[in-house]
Structure 1
Amino acid sequence: MMTTSIQFLLESIRKHVTLTIEDEQKLAAVCQARTVKRKQFFLQEGEVQRNLVFVVEGCLRSYSVDENGFEHILQFAPPGWWISDMRSMLERSPASLNIDAVDDSEILLISIPDLDRLYKDIATFDRFFRILSERSLATHQRRLIDSLSLTAKERYTSFCQQYPSLITCLPQKYVASYIGITPEFLSKMLKEPIKKG
């Protein structure tokens, strides 16, 4: 019998591709459940990412820290999202990102060797991750364009559209870091009255 965490993962995958019962069993056999407590690291800069992470409950974030100690958040991963330092994972090289838990979180891990076997054994699984990779690339391109061309307020609106379930529960400093402004500027911006056209 499959756990509710595995069922949630399979439901997420079924939104994009169809797996056979045998495929689902192969996937379930390699998933490892783990709990990550709030503010606990899953991955720290300099470590090698050895597992792909799927979030079942809670929220993880990936970020880098610059030489002045400022955090730059690259991604949030609420339930149903995947997260990784992709370069570290693909190259088996030291991570340039940190990944930690915003809230107490339940995650599923798939080791890189198991992931490679799934790609070979299940053509549909390979297709699923191609779809995810394409969508991720499109999202990151959009975010790069937004960061170069949009105002802070427009970037905030874009953030609200991308992460609607998180906007009310994330600390403002995390939201500010994600959109590239200071927490003080975000607070001031949110207090400004809405202009009517």
Structure 2
Amino acid sequence: MFDVLLSHIEDKVDLTEKDKSELQQFFTCKKLRKKQYLLQEGDVCKNLSFVSKGLLKSYMLDEKGSEHISMFAFEGWWISDFNSFINQEKAVLNIDAIEETELLTITREEYENLMVKIPIMDRYFRILYQNSLVTKDYRLMVFNSFTAEEKYTQFAEKNPDIIQRVPHNLIASYLGLTPETVSRIRKKISFK
């Protein structure tokens, strides 16, 4: 489980052997069953979580109880309600498992200790946050300017694994489309 995290970190920064041996002490292993919550709206997000196996979704519920998915997180991704985690405020997001999932979690206190004890991790997280901001900016542009078919096609090309692993109604929610629209687009694409 820890090897997935080490590999992910080493893709971004160079760790010494000492860093590698110290790193594990900051994390706790956690397993989730399918549909089990990692975080519920209104709770304070106590952990930043790295997905070593499985798949989760992060979402808000509207007044009608409809899900509005903001993120899918699969192997090699981090997930949390980051505002809640950093500021220790009530979460606005729900996070639950789409598949059985294995996580490595780190508390806010241990996250801060990690930055002090292994300074290269500050650079690692800065790279992640920069990439996340670029991704969110791109997603906003796509959401506001692409047609439904362009949204789905672009998402499918960038995330072929998710297309196979996630029910199309969840993909529709993520793309801001109806399940019927996604079904129609999928049929149209399969006939091409």
TM-score, normalisation: structure 1: 0.93
Secondary structure, counterpart of 1:72 in structure 2: strand
Higher share of residues assigned helix:
2
2:174 to 173, 178, 196: 178
Aligned mates of 2:102, 2:183 — CA distance in 1: 31
> What is residue 66 of structure 1 aligned with on the other side?
62
- Residue identity matched to 1:6: F
Matched, 1:165 2:161: yes
> What is residue 85 of structure 1 aligned with on the other side?
81
Aligned mates of 1:135, 1:117 — CA distance in 2: 23
Shift of 1:81: 0.6
What number of residue pairs does the alignment pair up?
192
Aligned mates of 1:21, 1:139 — CA distance in 2: 32
Shift of 1:158: 2.0
- Residue identity matched to 2:125: F
> What is residue 120 of structure 1 aligned with on the other side?
116
Aligned mates of 1:6, 1:92 — CA distance in 2: 26
- Residue identity matched to 1:154: E
- Residue identity matched to 1:183: P
Secondary structure, counterpart of 2:99 in structure 1: coil
Aligned mates of 2:189, 2:55 — CA distance in 1: 31
Aligned mates of 1:129, 1:142 — CA distance in 2: 20
1:139 to 135, 140, 143: 135
Shift of 1:194: 7.0
Shift of 1:14: 0.2
Aligned mates of 1:127, 1:158 — CA distance in 2: 30
1:189 to 176, 180, 185: 185
Percentage of identical aligned residues: 42
RMSD: 1.4
> What is residue 28 of structure 1 aligned with on the other side?
24
Matched, 1:94 2:90: yes
Shift of 1:75: 0.6
Aligned mates of 1:95, 1:176 — CA distance in 2: 23
Q: Give ranges in structure 1 of 5+ residues lacking alignment.
A: none
Deviations 1:133-170 (A, max 9, x none): 00000000000011000011111122123322111121
Aligned mates of 2:22, 2:190 — CA distance in 1: 52
> What is residue 41 of structure 1 aligned with on the other side?
37
- Residue identity matched to 1:52: L
Secondary structure, counterpart of 2:63 in structure 1: coil
2:15 to 14, 19, 27: 19
TM-score, normalisation: structure 2: 0.96
Q: Give ranges in structure 2 of 5+ residues lacking alignment.
A: none
Which deviates further from its counterpart, 177-186 or 19-28?
19-28
- Residue identity matched to 1:175: I
